[in-house]
Amino acid sequence: MNRLDNIVARNQRPPWYRNKPLLFAAAIALAIAMVALAMMTRLGQPKTAEPPAPSTPSSPKPHVLLRAK
């Protein structure tokens, strides 16, 4: 390699994983996404009490027994 090749190699753009501002921005975006998703879940919160469904009607119907002859 000559001197010009060394200068070109030294001035090349670093790969994405060595680019500190890009890694910082990706980490911040990931943290914001995690906080947003955590805010949308109900993990750790008590379940809301739903009113129980009525098991018997208010006026029960008389039972009819059918007998075979």
Res. 27: pLDDT tops 90? yes
Which of these ranges, 3-12, 19-28, 48-57, has the smallest mean pLDDT? 48-57
Mean pLDDT of the region 4-28: 88
Distance of CA 41 to the CA centre of its chain: 7
Q: Which of the pair, 52 or 65, is modelled with greater confidence?
A: 65
Are 23 and 17 in contact by the 8 Å Cβ rule? The answer is: yes
- Extents of the domains making up the chain: 3-40
Res. 34: pLDDT tops 90? yes
pLDDT tier, 51 (very low <50, low <70, confident <90, very high otherwise)? low
